[in-house]
Amino acid sequence: MAWFKKARKPIAAPEKTSRVPEGLWVKCPECDTIIYTKDLVKNLHVCHKCAHHFRLNATERLKTLFDGETWEELAPNLVSNDPLQFTDTKPYKARLAASKASVGQNDAVIVGVGRINGVDAVVAAMEYSFIGGSMGVVVGEKMVRGIELALARRIPMVIVSCSGGARMMEGALSLMQMAKISAALARLDRARLPYVSILTDPTTGGVTASFAMLGDLNIAEPKALIGFAGPRIIEQTIRQKLPDGFQRSEFLVEHGMLDLVVDRREMKATLGRMLAFMSAKPSGPQASKPSGPQASKPSGPQAPKPSGM
């Protein structure tokens, strides 16, 4: 039937002799600028022209936050034991092994303790390239250990979310991590220790529905996708067209879901300032002074305010 058929094999393409090594240049998906990779790394993976934020892996993230790019890692060897013996298109065990080999980590989070602009803190950074940064039992356990360390040392906790949500291959066990991490954060709250949540592109599903939104401060990177269900599902459910920029950081700040949007290049300085402010201990005399005279004064809108308030 084939009236047009190549009788001979096509001439083999010559070996690529490009002198440009792979990955030396990156094209910005927003503005199409060609960026020299080294410049991109220097600029914390932010496009110098349009400020597009490229996705960071967990190690790079911790490097952007910790002083001297050093930290002490917590429980790096925890691994999932595939509690459900789960198989979808391929066995979960094989998926885990493939991710471990390609990412070089045992699960989707790195928890480290170090200093941010001189303030001791525990930071948990999620790794999107490990099965979509999904939250399974290992992510839950590592985060809780991080929070417990923050409690023991009385230092702040920071979680950088970058996740598609719960890990389906661990079924209900992965959903339980939402409660487990939230309960640990509640203990942190009762101990009056700060917790800052940093939401990066993307933060969705069970992660948004639990710890990512529980911060004393919820900060997002610009234009990050943050939501529970995706826009298509919502559109189908409510049968309405969604507004522009729906589920993006700036939209969520406008609607009171987040506290602020911070450029990655200013994230460390901002975070350092916040942590220093929130973990400052009130000194003795200053803390007890205002309560005395205030209590005896008649309180009302006309009451003169004490100076310095």
Interacting residues toward Zn ion by CB under 5 A: 28, 30-31, 33, 47, 49-50, 52
- Angle (CA) 59-63-68 rounded to 5° is 140
Beta partners for residue 112, in sequence order: 73, 123
Q: How far is the CB of 164 from Zn ion (least distance, A)?
A: 25
| DSSP codes of every residue in 45-105 | TB-TTT--BPPPPHHHHHHHHSGGG--EE--TT-----TT--BSSSBHHHHHHHHHHHH-S
Q: How far is the CB of 116 from Zn ion (least distance, A)?
A: 28
User: For residues 177 and 220, what is the distance between their CA atoms, to the nearest angstrom?
Assistant: 22
Q: How far is the CB of 46 from Zn ion (least distance, A)?
A: 9
Closest CB to Zn ion among residues 53, 167: 53
Closest CB to Zn ion among residues 30, 82: 30
Q: How far is the CB of 254 from Zn ion (least distance, A)?
A: 23
Amino acid found at 101: A
User: For residues 107 and 155, what is the distance between their CA atoms, to the nearest angstrom?
Assistant: 25
Closest CB to Zn ion among residues 47, 58: 47
Closest CB to Zn ion among residues 51, 229: 51
Q: How far is the CB of 45 from Zn ion (least distance, A)?
A: 11
Q: How far is the CB of 47 from Zn ion (least distance, A)?
A: 3
3 state SS of 115: strand
Closest CB to Zn ion among residues 33, 294: 33
Mapped to the 3 state alphabet, what secondary structure does 208-266 carry? HCCHHHCCCEEEECCCCEECCCCHHHHHHHHCCCCCCCCCEHHHHHHCCCCCEECCHHH
Closest CB to Zn ion among residues 36, 277: 36
Q: How far is the CB of 26 from Zn ion (least distance, A)?
A: 10
Helix locations, 104-163, DSSP H: 137-153
User: For residues 162 and 53, what is the distance between their CA atoms, to the nearest angstrom?
Assistant: 13
Taking phi over 0 as left and psi of -120 to 50 as alpha, with beta for the rest, 116 belongs to: beta
Nearest to 50 by CA among 226, 268, 223: 223
